[in-house]
A and B are shown apart, each in its own frame.
Chain A
Amino acid sequence: GENVEQHPSTLSVQEGDSAVIKCTYSDSASNYFPWYKQELGKGPQLIIDIRSNVGEKKDQRIAVTLNKTAKHFSLHITETQPEDSAVYFCAAGSGYSTLTFGKGTMLLVSP
């Protein structure tokens, strides 16, 4: 089955800096890669996703890149703000199959 590795487990940045979280996956059949943000005591919120037919996708301060050859994808957050502090999960899946999640990255943005 699919295996998703996520790094780093914790990431501390200063407000205004950029943050990068990286994930690798094992199953070459995976073609859908979402990123979720989870705040304490809440359910995960989809922030951006990418499919295998594109290499990069942007939404304001958030971007995701995908390298299918290397089987890795990354989340980039620019101009970080304290409200970006949360746990971020990457995931991989295909079609309408189940998603396999990474172990999460706790992002701390200091004012």
Chain B
Amino acid sequence: GAVVSQHPSWVICKSGTSVKIECRSLDFQATTMFWYRQFPKQSLMLMATSNEGSKATYEQGVEKDKFLINHASLTLSTLTVTSAHPEDSSFYICSAHGVPLGTDTQYFGPGTRLTVL
């Protein structure tokens, strides 16, 4: 139980294009999903928190117009990196918690490696 998937696992795009990353909870309803960014050999940096049906809450310093988050259903959240630039290259990871897990435990997806050329 408590499986979270991400798609794609890796993506390469040209500078200026937009990229969408999907995060799905496969066997539970994710009332809350989190999006993290991780640079090589560093810890996880929380970008935003999204609750199903509500606007995402972004952490300080994260541009909400650049990193668009949608949590339209209890099993799917998407992160769109708009007008991507090489500095957006990173490992993006989502996590989720919800019902019937009923706890504050976060389960993570496998991550998406984004490379912007």
Contacts and interface: CB of A to CB of B under 8 A. Distances in A.
Contacts of A99: 46, 106
Contact of A42 (B34, B95, B110): B110
B57 to A, nearest CB: 9
Contacts of A34: 105-106
A104 B43 contact: yes
Contacts, number: 46
Contact of B44 (A49, A89, A95, A96): A89
B104 A43 contact: no
A103 B113 contact: no
Given A101-B43, A101-B44, A96 B105 contact: no
* Most A Cβ at <10 Å: residue of B6, B34, B105, B109: B105
A44 B113 contact: no
